[in-house]
C-alpha cells in the first residue's frame, strides 16, 4: 500500500562537511497531533490527544481504545470518521478521529474525564501500575507457542526492508507482527513507538485477528512498560525489541508470563523473561 504523502515533509537543510556548506532538500517524518473523540449516543468526549505520523489513523484510534479497555471487540465500534464539524478548519479535520460506539455500549464517562495527553516520546503520561493491569482482569499468557532462535534472527532485517517511510526519512519507529515461522504479517510506522504498536493492534482488531496468541511482535527501539501493556491486552506472548527493555517492562513480562527479548540484532539477543518459549536450534558459533 502506498504511504500517504502527509507521512513525509520536505525541508531545506544545510550540510556542513569538511569545511564546505551545501544546501539539500531533505525529507522528514511528519509529526502532527491526533485527537481521538468518543461518541456514544448523544454524548461526545475527547479521550486522547497524541502526537503521531499521519496515516492509519483509524487503526491508531482503535488500538488505543482497545489497549485502554474502552472497547473489547471489533463490534464495539459502530463507525469511525474524520471530523466534519463546520467549526473545525478544513486543514485540521484529518487530525481528529470520531469513534462512534455501538448503541449497547455505554462508557463510564466519569472515568474518562481524565483526558489523556500523549507524546511521541513517552506515550500516555502517568500510566497505571502493574496492580492496575490485574484489576482490569489481565491474566498471565498461557504457554504453548514457541519460536526458534533462527526465526528471531531473521526478524530485524525483514522489519528494515518493510519500513518504507523510515527509508525515506530515517526518523520513524516501527512495530511488526510475525507468525512463529517468521512470516511477516503487518508493519506500522510512526514517530512514537507506542503509536506504531497501537496501529498494529488496531489493524488486528479491525480485521478481527485478535487475540495475538500465536504471534511475535517486534519493535524497532526499546520495549517500554506501555508497549508491554498494550501487547498483553492483545494477548501477544512474545515481544522483541532491537534495544534494551525498561525495568518495569521486564517486571510486567515476568508477572504475566510474556517472553521478552531485547538487543535482537547481529545474530544475537537477550531473553529477559519467558525463556521457555525459545527453542535454540542454531549451531554454536
Catalytic residues: 122
Query: Would you state the cell numbers that stand for residue 8, as one nine-digit string?
Result: 513525509
> What count of residues does the chain have?
285
Answer yes or no: are the C-beta atoms of 188 and 207 closer than 8 Å. no
- Give dist(CA 70, CA 47) in Å, integer: 10
Q: In terms of DSSP bridges, do strands 268-273 and 43-52 run parallel, antiparallel, or are they unpaired?
A: unpaired
DSSP state at residue 223: B
Assess whether the previous peptide bond of 86 is cis (omega < 30° from 0). no
Q: In terms of DSSP bridges, do strands 96-101 and 77-82 run parallel, antiparallel, or are they unpaired?
A: antiparallel
Q: Which residue has the cell 498483553?
A: 232
3-state secondary structure of 141: coil
- Give dist(CA 69, CA 2) in Å, integer: 31
**Whole-number Cα distances in Å, 176 to 43, 80, 165, 203, 218:** 35, 24, 14, 11, 5
- Comparing C-alpha atoms, which of 262, 79, 266, 64 is closest to residue 157? 266
Amino acid at each position: 500500500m502506498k504511504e500517504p504523502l502527509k507521512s513525509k515533509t520536505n525541508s531545506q537543510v544545510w550540510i556542513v562537511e569538511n569545511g564546505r556548506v551545501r544546501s539539500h532538500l531533505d525529507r522528514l517524518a511528519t509529526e502532527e497531533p491526533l485527537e481521538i473523540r468518543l461518541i456514544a449516543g448523544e454524548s461526545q468526549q475527547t479521550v486522547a490527544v497524541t502526537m503521531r505520523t499521519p496515516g492509519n489513523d483509524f487503526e491508531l484510534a482503535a488500538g488505543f481504545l482497545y489497549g485502554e479497555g474502552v472497547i473489547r471487540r471489533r463490534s464495539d465500534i459502530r463507525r469511525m470518521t474524520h471530523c466534519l464539524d463546520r467549526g473545525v478548519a478544513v486543514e485540521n479535520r484529518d487530525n481528529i478521529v470520531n469513534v462512534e460506539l455501538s448503541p449497547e455500549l455505554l462508557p463510564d464517562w466519569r472515568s474518562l474525564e481524565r483526558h489523556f495527553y500523549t507524546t511521541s516520546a513517552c506515550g500516555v503520561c502517568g500510566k497505571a501500575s502493574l496492580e492496575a493491569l490485574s484489576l482490569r482482569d489481565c491474566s498471565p499468557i498461557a504457554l504453548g507457542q514457541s519460536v526458534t532462535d533462527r526465526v528471531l534472527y531473521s526478524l530485524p532485517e525483514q522489519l528494515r526492508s518493510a519500513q518504507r517511510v523510515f527509508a525515506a526519512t530515517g526518523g520513524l519507529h516501527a512495530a511488526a507482527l510475525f507468525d512463529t515461522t517468521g512470516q511477516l504479517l503487518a508493519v506500522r510506522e510512526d514517530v512514537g513507538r507506542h503509536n506504531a504498536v497501537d496501529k498494529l493492534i488496531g489493524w488486528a482488531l479491525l480485521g478481527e485477528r485478535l487475540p495475538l496468541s500465536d504471534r511475535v511482535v517486534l519493535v524497532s527501539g526499546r520495549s517500554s512498560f506501555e508497549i508491554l501493556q498494550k501487547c498483553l491486552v492483545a494477548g501477544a506472548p512474545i515481544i522483541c525489541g532491537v534495544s534494551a527493555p525498561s525495568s518495569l517492562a521486564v517486571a510486567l513480562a515476568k508477572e504475566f508470563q510474556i517472553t521478552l527479548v531485547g538487543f535482537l540484532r547481529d545474530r544475537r539477543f537477550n531473553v529477559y523473561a519467558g525463556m521457555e518459549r525459545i527453542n535454540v536450534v542454531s549451531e554454536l558459533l
